[in-house]
Structure 1
Amino acid sequence: MEKKDWLIIQAVYAQKNITKAAEQLYMSQPTLTYRLQQIEKEFDIKLFYRGRRGVEFTEQGELLVKYTQDMLRQRREMEENLWNSGGEVRGTLRLSVSRTFAFYRLPPILKAFNDRFPKVDFQIETGVNMDVIQSIYKQDAHIGIVRGDHHWPSKETILTEENISILSKEKISLNDLSTMRRISFQTDPNLEMVMDTWWKENFHTPPANIMNVDNVDIAKRMVLNGLGYCIAPSIVLEEQDQLHTIFLKDQQNKPIIWKTRVLYREELLGLAMVDEFVRFLMDYHHVLDEK
């Protein structure tokens, strides 16, 4: 078996579908099917069966999947150690990033880092915070960037702090909120709990009218078109938005802050590209804060 065979087995196992696996690997379906048949012939086993719910791996197939995962991980570690021993910053940096941070902050960061270290490539996964944390635990990513407070037993650094704000097209007061349309969006449970707690501390009734949308970006577009207000972290505010903001405050009249954290395992700082990226993140945001 070669590396491409490991990747084929991994893709089929993840997708549970031959066509989707072929698309993921940019291969034709006949070519992928032929490679799978050759693997079965080499080991004299049946890898999987095709059922109504897609591909179902046999017990022997599951064992081979475990082997390929181990081999891919070992090869990845070997490549990283070889790159690290060469005296220059190079390799593929694997990042798992909160969707909101990835949308509003990540692209210019990667561009600036790539300008400084052009031999570093990126493998980026985006998702909700729990996806990011799971990716770090499973060692699928070198570095995770999450929003809010989460338990992480290894190294973490606060990257940014921002206000949670009421956003509206026109100037409003807190007294107006209970009768206005609120644009609600699906978000991290911790952030949702913070917003709900603030509301209950300030109002005795739920919002009179709620419009539910999938994410904060859609919610902001609704607000920009005057369809109501939303409560969101200030990361979503861009210079061209020209929205009115009211910062949420707790019962001690202190601003309610939402933090972005960088998570990583301390031993990975031995890899030059990981160490440099963590340092770069801190320097980058420190420079922005000073502007």
Structure 2
Amino acid sequence: MDEKDFALLHVLKECGNITHAADRLYLTQSALSKRIKAIERELGCDIVLRTRKGVRFTPAGELALAHTAQAAHELDLLRRELDAAQDTICGTLNAGFALNYSFMHLPQLLTEYHRRYPQVQLNIVTAKSRDLHAILQRNELDVAVLRGEFPWDGMQYLLSQERICAVCTHENEHTPLSELTYINHTTDIAHTALMTRWLHENNLAQTASRINVSDLMTCQELVKRGIGWALLPEVVLAGFDGCVRPCTFSNGEPFIRRMYIDCQKEAEQLPQVQALVDLIKEQYAHRSNAGVIGTAVSPATALSDLP
């Protein structure tokens, strides 16, 4: 068996179907079946069972999966350590970015990173923070930029603390928020709890008219069009021409949302990983100094029914 066989077994397990696995591996079904038979002959046992619903791994197959996954991981670590011993920053970098960060900053970041380190192979994933956290925990990413609070025992940098603001158009700024449509966006459980707390403290939790959307950018666009009001982080408010008020809880604590860079322990010392972390912090600091983050939010205008 070799690394191609390790990957073949992993894909077959993911797909659970010969046809789909063959498509993923750019093989014919016949070629894939022959390779499975060859692996079984080499191991001296059956590793998959074919059923009407697809394929299932036998107990021996599950054992083979576990060992081949570990072998693939060890080979990857060997290559990375050899890369780290070289003077040139190269190797492979598996990185994940939260959707909102990706929308605002990722193209510029990757363009600059590739310009500086063209020999690094980049494997990039963009997803919601909670999904990236799950991928990171499965050790499928070296580093990830996440928004929100997620447990992590590896290296972690606090990248930013964004104020959460109540926003609406200037046309709606003198209308009590309780009389406007509240535009809510989907987020993680911890941030949802803080939003609910703020709404309760300001007697806005029972707003009759509500629209639920899945992302911040749609939420912001609906506010711009005068549909209603929303609770939005500063990261999406650069250039927003409307009524903006940073939120505070009843105990005087500011309503903030943090952004972190989380990194695997074993990947922390890899030059290509550290170079990405340094570049993210460098560009974020530059945007902050230039007034793009945080200070770009227009001066707060009192919303009618808030203290």
TM-score by length of 2: 0.84
Give the secondary structure class of the aligned counterpart of 2:172: coil
**Which residue matches 2:299?**
none
| Further displaced range: 110-119 or 53-62 | 53-62
Give the letter aligned to residue 164 of structure 1: I
Give yes or no for contact 2:155–2:268 (8 Å, CA) kept in 1. no
Residues in 2 aligned to 1:2 and 1:184: alpha-carbon distance in whole angstroms: 50
Give the secondary structure class of the aligned counterpart of 1:251: coil
Give unmatched runs, 5+ long, in structure 2: 291-307
| Further displaced range: 76-85 or 99-108 | 99-108
Count residues in correspondence.
Answer: 290
Give the letter aligned to residue 199 of structure 1: L
Residues in 1 aligned to 2:52 and 2:242: alpha-carbon distance in whole angstroms: 50
Matched, 1:251 2:250: yes
- Give how far 1:252 is off: 4.4
| 1:74-103, Cα deviation, whole Å (9 max, x unpaired) | 111111112111211011111133232223
CA RMSD of aligned residues (A): 2.4
Residues in 2 aligned to 1:207 and 1:236: alpha-carbon distance in whole angstroms: 24
| 1:243-273, Cα deviation, whole Å (9 max, x unpaired) | 5433222224454221110112455332111
| Further displaced range: 193-202 or 111-120 | 111-120
| 1:192-238, Cα deviation, whole Å (9 max, x unpaired) | 11111100010165121112223223323333443333222222335
- Give aligned-pair identity as a percent: 24
Residues 56/175 of structure 1: CA separation in 2 closer, same or farther (3 Å cut) = farther
Matched, 1:16 2:16: yes
Residues in 1 aligned to 2:179 and 2:18: alpha-carbon distance in whole angstroms: 52
**Which residue matches 1:78?**
78
Residues in 1 aligned to 2:175 and 2:225: alpha-carbon distance in whole angstroms: 22
**Which residue matches 1:100?**
100
| Further displaced range: 173-182 or 137-146 | 173-182
Give the letter aligned to residue 235 of structure 2: I
Matched, 1:143 2:143: yes
Give yes or no for contact 2:172–2:226 (8 Å, CA) kept in 1. no
Matched, 1:48 2:48: yes
**Which residue matches 2:111?**
111
Residues 273/41 of structure 1: CA separation in 2 closer, same or farther (3 Å cut) = same
- Give how far 1:47 is off: 2.4
Give the letter aligned to residue 198 of structure 1: W
Give yes or no for contact 1:167–1:229 (8 Å, CA) kept in 2. yes
**Which residue matches 1:288?**
287
- Give how far 1:179 is off: 2.0
Give yes or no for contact 1:96–1:141 (8 Å, CA) kept in 2. yes
**Which residue matches 2:123?**
123
**Which residue matches 2:195?**
195
Residues in 1 aligned to 2:213 and 2:204: alpha-carbon distance in whole angstroms: 24
Give the letter aligned to residue 42 of structure 1: E
Residues in 1 aligned to 2:98 and 2:121: alpha-carbon distance in whole angstroms: 19
TM-score by length of 1: 0.88
Matched, 1:215 2:242: no
Give the secondary structure class of the aligned counterpart of 1:105: helix
Give yes or no for contact 1:178–1:205 (8 Å, CA) kept in 2. no
